[in-house]
Copies of this chain bind each other. A is one copy, B any other.
Amino acid sequence: MTGDKLKRTLVTETTEQIGKKVLLKGWINSIRDHGKITFIDLRDRSGIVQCVGEKLLKVSPESVVEIIGKVTERPKELVNSKLETGTVEVEVKEIKVLAKAQELPLDMGSKDLELTLPTLLDNRSLTLRHPKTKAIFKIQEIIMQAFRDALKKKDFTEFEAPTIVPVATEGGAEIFPVSYYDYNAYLGQSPQLYKQIMVSIFERVYTVGRAYRAEPSVTTRHLSEYISLDCEFGFIDSWTELMDMAEYTIREMLSAVEKDCKEELALHKATIPELSNKIPRLKMREAQQIIFERTGRDNRKEPDLEPEDEREICRWSQEKHDSEFVFITHFPTSKRPFYTYPDPKDPKNTLSFDLLGRGLELITGGQRINDYDQLLANIKKWKLNPDDFSIYLQAFKYGMPPEGGFALGAERITMQILGLKNIREASLFPRDMERVDVRLSTLKRSKKKSKK
């Protein structure tokens, strides 16, 4: 076709090509047949443009086409202000189908794509194309990029952590076994031990990787496989530096989304969370006291915050401090992993923190035990086998500075920024108790009996 010599124009570039002949390539976002005239909304990676032609061949929505046409300016009364390319349209001269789409199982033309979760996920490769769904993952990309950029500015080094591990890092049963040659290994619940080791190599490190939790129940906040953004650094003078770094990082991430994802936020009618000049910091016991005073719910002796407590303390934070985020600190030693640093003034509690945002735990962090003997004693106390941790323990045996860090799940922060109802919407291909792309019921059953 004659278009072979034309260079491709992206659809958002058409506004600068008025009067010119262009070659466009993309998907039929929608097609409207008005008798003599046909309107096509063509979608490519840059956006959508309206194309118009007479007696156009019938093309099914989502088909991939090449269009050669002339860009014309729209009369003022026909300008579509909702479309980036709304000042122009393209008069179609030739159209060629590169890949025909079959009839769609659902209406992709609706503005909001309001589907049930099973329908959304059963048709994942199709529903991801919808601009509103796609926007979620553009935002997620920016979140991950901003995490990297923020820490790079602070002289951190990026590394990749292994995911096949010899032992359950955090203890507990929520771990996936892997048949590793003739042995049993596991999928890492977090890159925790590796990022701590890496502090003894590069001092300041971060990693973006996959973490795995065999969550035994279906909730709206948990995934079996998620993206963990992990940060760890040494030579801290005080554990509060860890919260400072977490606060800095989350601010950088939110600013980047606000700056780079205006259109995506608008599609979801979402706004960036409000943060005060300094995010409030409360001890867990203080938070429970406030909740008791506000609601009469007395959880003051509980060892952790319940989901409803998390929502309530965020409401308090917003009302009293204009901050949708709040740090909760000093969780009990009994509820934290073996490596958590006990508060020297009150060893029943730890120098640890959660950052809650819009009612949900987003970041977990804290200082770690860096003394070899103390760490070894704790591993034994937690009834773990030191031999399984030999590479980890080495890092402490030969000199580890005071250190700590934090971690957050990319899907959770995405969900909270956009106000999504279920974390599965913030995962490209969510894995849970019921699904790993296909529904589990279609897979072969394990020969092992369920351990329940």
Chain A residues proximal to chain B, CB less than 8 Å: 4, 8, 25, 27-28, 44-45, 62-64, 98-102, 104, 123-126, 128-129, 134, 137-138, 140-141, 144-145, 155, 157-166, 176-185, 187, 194, 197-198, 200-204, 208-210, 212, 214, 224-225, 227, 235, 237, 370-372, 387-388, 390-392, 394-402, 410, 428-429, 431, 433, 436-438, 440, 442-446, 448, 450
Contact A444 B183 (CB under 8 A): yes
Selected from B102, B198, B396, B429, the residue in CB contact (under 8 A) with A398 is B102
| CB <8 Å contact, B183 and A445 | yes
Contact B444 A227 (CB under 8 A): no
Asked if residues A200 and B387 are in contact (CB atoms below 8 Å), the reply is no
- CB-CB under 8 A from A4, the residues of chain B are 237
CA–CA, A129 to B372, complex, Å?
17
Contacts of A208 in B (CB 8 A): 160
A224's nearest neighbour on chain B, judged by CB, is B164
Instruction: Return chain B residues, CB-CB under 8 Å to A183.
Output: 440, 443-446
B62, B402, B445: the one within 8 Å of A399 (CB): B62
CB-defined contacts of A123 to chain B, threshold 8 Å:
394
Whether A428 lies near B164 (C-beta < 8 A) is no
Let me know if B438 and A388 touch, CB within 8 A.
yes
Residues of chain B contacted by A235 (CB below 8 angstroms): 8, 25
Report the separation of the CA atoms of residues A25 and B399 in the bound assembly, to the nearest whole angstrom.
Answer: 12
Q: List 19 A-B contacts (CB under 8 A).
A: A4-B237, A45-B202, A99-B372, A101-B397, A125-B200, A125-B394, A125-B398, A126-B394, A134-B201, A144-B160, A162-B436, A162-B437, A164-B187, A165-B436, A166-B438, A176-B179, A181-B450, A184-B446, A391-B437
Residues of B with C-beta under 8 A to A371: 99
Q: Are B398 and A126 in contact (CB under 8 A)?
A: yes
Instruction: Kindly list 19 other residue pairs between chains A and B, CB separation below 8 angstroms, not including A45-B202, A124-B391, A184-B446.
Output: A27-B399, A45-B203, A62-B398, A98-B401, A124-B394, A126-B398, A128-B201, A134-B202, A138-B157, A141-B158, A144-B160, A145-B158, A161-B429, A162-B431, A164-B436, A177-B178, A178-B179, A194-B429, A390-B437
Q: How far is the CB of A169 from chain B (nearest CB, A)?
A: 12
Nearest CB in chain B to that of A145: its residue: B158
